[in-house]
Every structure is written in C-alpha cells, then in structure tokens.
Structure 1
C-alpha cells in the first residue's frame, strides 16, 4: 500500500494528538508540519510529553530542522501564510488544518493553489464545506465534490450520535444541550482582557458559562432539526474529560428503559460501534481520559419526564476522541484519493 502524503497545519493540541492517533496507520504519511508558535525543538518536546495524555510511546527528536521519529522524517516550517508552505514540493494531497484561522473557502484557497487536493478542517466551516460527524453522515462524502471537509467540533461529535439514535427511533421535536467542557487555550490562566469577559477570568478557579455552536451546528448534520436545537457551555476547571447534558422533547411518549435500550443497541452494532459508548457503571470524568469514542452514555443518569421529555448525559474526551475522528476522516479522504 502506498500511503497518501499528509501535511498538518497547526501543531497545537489537536495537531499533536492527531499525529499520535494516525502514526501507525499505513494509509497516511505525515511529511510536513507547519506551526507558527515555537520551533521544531518545541514541537518535538511537546509531542513527547503531554500533561494530559502522558508520554508518547515513540520518541520525537530534531535532525537538521526536521522532526524525526522511528526513522521517519517530517519537515517543519513556521509560516503564517499557508501559501508559503511547500505542500506541492512535498507531494501532499491532504492538509489537516487545525489552527482555527482558516474556516472559509476564501481563506482555505491558498492550500489548493499549492497543489493540495483536499483540506480536512478540525472545526466547523459554515459555508462551502461538508461538515462530517464520523458514523453519522460520512456517507454523504463525495471526493469529486467535497474538497473542504470538516470533522465538525468535539461536542458536535458527542451530540450527533445520540441525536441520530433518538431522532430516528422516536423523533426529536426540539431540545437544548449544556456541555460541561474542560478548560481550553481560549481561556485565561489568570484574569486578563478577553472579548468574552467570562473567559477573561482565571480558568482554574471558576465555572464559566459561555457559548457553544455545537447544538445549532446539528442543523448542518440533520437539516430537519435546523433551528430546533440550541445550547451553551460551562467551562469547568478540569483538563479532561467533558460531559454533554442533552434535553429533548420527543415526538411520542417513551421511558428510560426504551431510551437506554436504543442507545445500548446502537453502541453494539452498526455504524456507531467504536463511536458511541454505553456505560452502566458509576464512573466519573477521569475514567474517560484517553477514551477514543465520541460519546459514552451515562445510563444511570437517563431521565424521562412526563413521557416525552428525555435527559441524556454523555461523557467524552474532548481531545483524544476528536483527534481520532478527525484523523479517521482524513483516512477516508485518503482512501478516495488512492482509488482515483
């Protein structure tokens, strides 16, 4: 098998974890990393040592300005303009974009100008892209048409499998979600100026209500639910893992046993195996650190009120789970390119 050559644009949390996730996959070969914050030595160090996910089982080092591990060499650059990165010279077909800076067709165009076939974005793109939740709507991918594909967001990946199961079996009228989300780099270590005055406060000292687009983004995955789901986030002073609280008004009466049975069955057979989990043990957030699944239903917490209102809690490792889905999406794209 000839591996598809891949570049990673943005070697922060997602970029590094994606490289860990796909390292042993024969379908993908990362040959270029572009990261403006820090040099190759910093990239190698942060690849080896991760405060949340521990040491990498391989060892990255620097050789002649490139990142080297297991005898493989990955070229390193630090260009703010992706049009200056040697994607073409490296023969790269796929760029995995995770800077968060390129989320429109116009800003993504420089990748294509440099010979890239497809850009796989680690964030939702509202226009001109196919937003995919693996296991939910990846059957819509058309390699001839879809040159910008996204893995949506970590919380959308948690929410969408649950929506799929419940909406297909019972029907969702409307609903809201709250994600109890670990702190991220968009928050402040100590109080400091920020456009969101709540995110301006020290991340480790408070529960911080803020926005999330994950619920409204469900409309991009399930068009019939456009405008019928919304939500918010509460950032919590933890590093990992997160919890999504879903409340849906259903189309017909149900009970806890039916809801849990539907979710358990979907976790055991069909397209959501390995993506949706189901857990009856009395676990807590730390137990899901390093879990590669997108959503793990906390069965003990399922509630049904007045027959038609259901509450479902789902755990997720918002870093490792999402890094795996993003990488799997890149692998799907690579399979289409190799068959072309």
Structure 2
C-alpha cells in the first residue's frame, strides 16, 4: 500500500512539472512571436523545445548550482515578465531564477525584483531590422538560414531576404534546396514550413519570401531588384578570403557589409565575446568570423590568460571530418586528406594556434597547433596543453571556468559540464562556442602544467557565433541579461 501511494505521488509530481513546462512554453512562444523577446535557460534555447527537453535542461542545471533550478522557479520568472514592457531582448530566466534563489527573494517580491533587474530592457532602444543575404548554401549556410528564420521573431532583427548560389534557378533545383533545408542528417528536421515558389524563384520559409539568386560573380547582382537595401552579405562559400576578393560583394547594388564565415586575410578576424570590441564599425565594412576551432578555444584561452597567465602551450584538435575530404580513397591536393574520411583518422594541419594571435595578440608566438580529422560527421574536441605563469589546482581551474560560464562577457561562449559520461554526440546542437569538460581537467603535481578538454559543435556552435557577430556589426543588438 505504501509503495502504491509513493508511486502515485511521484507520477502526480511529475505531471505537475509537465503542466508547468507547458505553461512556460506558451509564455516563451508569446514573448518571442509577438514581442521579439527570447527567453533562454542558462543560454539554452527554450523556443521550439519539447516539454521533456525543457525539464531535462532544468535537471542539468545542477552543474551550475547546489541543486537544480526547478521548473516552478523558472515559471514564476516568466510569468512576472509578462507584466513588463520590454524591448527586443534575450533574457536568461535560469540566471534570473538563480539570483532570486541566492538572494532569498520572497514570492510576493519577485515581480519587483524582476522589474528592477530588467530596467535596462524596459528602456533599451530598438534598432531598425537588417536585410541579410546568404552567399552560398552549404553546411553553414543552411544552418544560418534555419537560425535566421527561427530567430526572426516579430521581424525586428536580422531578416533573411535572399540566398545566392551558382545553380540555375528552376523547379528541380528549388525543390532540392528546400529538401536540404528541411532535412538534415545531423541536426534533424527543420522546425518550420518550407515551400517552393517557382514563379518568384524563391523559397517561402515560415511565410517569408527568400529569393534564390543565381550568380557566377558577386558584381553582377542587383539586390535592390528584390527590394533588398543595405544588406549584410554573409559569405559562406570559402571562395573569397582576402579583403580585395570580399570587397567584390560591396559592388553589388543593395549590399553594405560583408561577413566571411572562415578565417580572412587583411580583414578583422573576430571571435564574438572575445575581441568584438576592437571593431571600428563606423569605418569597417568587411569582417571575418574566424574558424570554428578559433571560436572554440579563444574564449577559454582568454579566461586562462587573464586569470593565471599562459607561458606557452600546444593545441590539438580532434575534428570531425569535413566536406573537403574524400568519401573514398582518391587524389587530393593536400596530404592524407585523399583517404576515406569515414574510415580513417587523418593527421592534418590547422592554423588555430596562429589564428588565436589575431584575436588575442598577447598569445602571439606562444602556441603551436595541429589537428586530427576523425570518422564522426560533427562534434569536435580541442585539447589545450598549457604551461601557466601561476600555480593552480583542478578545483581552482574548474571553478574559474565555471564562474566564466555564469558571469561576465563570455557566458554565451562558454558552457560548463560536469557530466562524467559526456561524448561527442552529446555536443551536437550546443549553441555555446566552447563546452568545458570539467571531469577531464588535468593539472600536474607542480600546478603549472594543465590539460583542458574543450568540446564544440563545429557546425551549430559556430553558426551561433556567426549570428552573434552578425547582429553586432549590423547594429541590431538586443538587450541581453545573462
């Protein structure tokens, strides 16, 4: 009888959590669709997430607090927000719930506390939306399209208006492009509606017309014919890498800025959160978002350099195979990359060590790097072997990184994990640039030599870094609370 009663009470308790999560989903959707206010939970997206996933995220929050933040604590925060008039924002209700708990705010005072904490969001100036053109539609291009559309909200931010490819624009090609956008073998189905409009030569994505433009060269495009003005062109082809080549985009009518999704030569290489403050937005029109690996390691290296100091080190990246490798053994202009990608571990070079110096000049000449491509389609790992200026311990080092994941300028970039069972497939879909594997941290007996293991979704995490940088240079920055 006792066992039955316990079982029924457990089921009832879980049902109440599910119901609270359903209410949270409704609030999240309303704030996003109607007010361009995005609620996240310790930087994890809540919009378009299932109830079970939201409850799992709450359980995982134990890595950041003495006990998990409950769905009821979060729901209270979200309900309070509905009474405020907020500008387009990105608000971390997990962080707010943690502050309410830590400060022992009484239930009747939560609304007052939230109103005070989000005062800046109530006074934040709204910016005009920015037209975006994707030049290229490969792996990163399609993920960017997904994120740009799903993050369109009430239309106050970045607006995807066109996609440029080298194909002929006909019904068959449009259907193929639509299918590749809708279905992804790694990231799953797109949570949206994609239709083909042959007459417009466009895809209709969640009701918005996105023109598909065929062009061999950037100079021949007139974006104004499509009603596109002062557009940010995001080049994800990799075909143009230096300032002169990328400047060709600016000769197209209707284009005003260019962002390269690869390391660039002679242009600012920016890791958002680390060195975006160095950009002269008034006088610069061409930018690079650096590489996925540079975005993964730079936030961690910045924290370590600032707190403990780095004498020198080596970075080894265990990287998923990419499209530039061969599917089966065949000729390749680069050494080893001609061997079958899904069957071999392949040693190859990476410029990550030298690229970091462009982002963190104080580390110039201090780092070496190399890479191994491994037979997984996505999800990579950087091993940072560093000699420090100051002594440390595993506990101190992990606490420094945990603190950086919760507070400061790098909370979007760094995620802290204490999961002892973490593997590469668990990283897929992570929006943070870096995931610290705390249980794997190693510190030598003298406290000066450390090994840090940093995971990253080299597609999805990098795409989010590109999005953050795009908002910054486009001047549509939202108020954020982390």
User: TM-score per shorter chain, which class?
Assistant: over 0.9
Kept after mapping to 1: 8 A contact 2:235/2:261? yes
Select the structure with the greater relative contact order (CA < 8 A; seq sep ≥ 6). Answer: 1
Q: Which residue of 2 aligns with 1:296?
A: 435
Matched-pair contact (CA < 8 Å) for 2:243–2:265: no
The structure that is helix-richer by fraction is 2
Partner Cα distance (1:61, 1:16) in 2? 15
Large movers: runs of 4+ above 3 Å: none
Task: Work out whether residues 154 and 322 of structure 1, in 8 Å CA contact, stay in contact via their aligned partners in 2.
Answer: yes
Question: Is 1:36 the equivalent of 2:166?
Answer: yes
Structure 1, unpaired ranges of 5+: none
Query: What is the aligned partner in structure 2 of residue 54 from structure 1?
Result: 188
TM-score when scaled to structure 2?
0.68
CA displacement 1:155-194 (0-9 Å, x = unmatched): 1011001101000001111111111111110111001110
The answer for the alignment partner of 2:279 in structure 1 is 141
Once the two structures are TM-superposed, the CA of residue 77 in structure 1 deviates from its matched residue by 1.7
* Counterparts of 1:303 and 1:80, CA distance in 2: 51
Q: CA deviation at 1:46?
A: 0.5
Q: 2:405 and 2:358 mapped to 1: Cα distance?
A: 23
Q: SS at 1:50's partner residue?
A: coil
Does residue 247 (structure 1) correspond to residue 385 (structure 2)? The answer is yes
Contact 1:7/1:92 (8 A) holds in 2: no
**How far 1:337 sits from its partner (Å)?**
10
Number of residue pairs matched? 337
Residue of structure 2 equivalent to 1:173: 311
SS at match of 2:475: helix
Instruction: Find 2:219's aligned residue among 54, 73, 83.
Output: 83
Q: Aligned-residue CA RMSD in angstroms?
A: 1.6
Deviations 1:242-285 (A, max 9, x none): 11100111112221111111101000111111210111111111
Q: Which moved more, 1:315-324 or 1:138-147?
A: 138-147
Instruction: Name the counterpart of 1:329.
Output: 469
Q: Of the two, which has the highest radius of gyration?
A: 2
Partner residue, 1:126: 265
Deviation of the 1:147 alpha carbon: 1.0
- 1 or 2, which has the higher strand percentage? 1
Match of 1:6 among 126, 132, 153: 132
TM-score w.r.t. structure 1 length?
A: 0.95
Q: Which deviates the most, 316-325 or 301-310?
A: 301-310
Aligned 8 A contact 2:157 2:476 in 1: no
Shift of residue 37 of structure 1?
5.3
Deviations 1:5-40 (A, max 9, x none): 111001100011011112223311111101225733
Q: Following the alignment from structure 1 to structure 2, what is the Cα–Cα distance between the partners of residues 330 and 220? A: 19
Cα distance per residue 1:222-250 (max 9 Å; x no partner): 11211211211111100121111001111
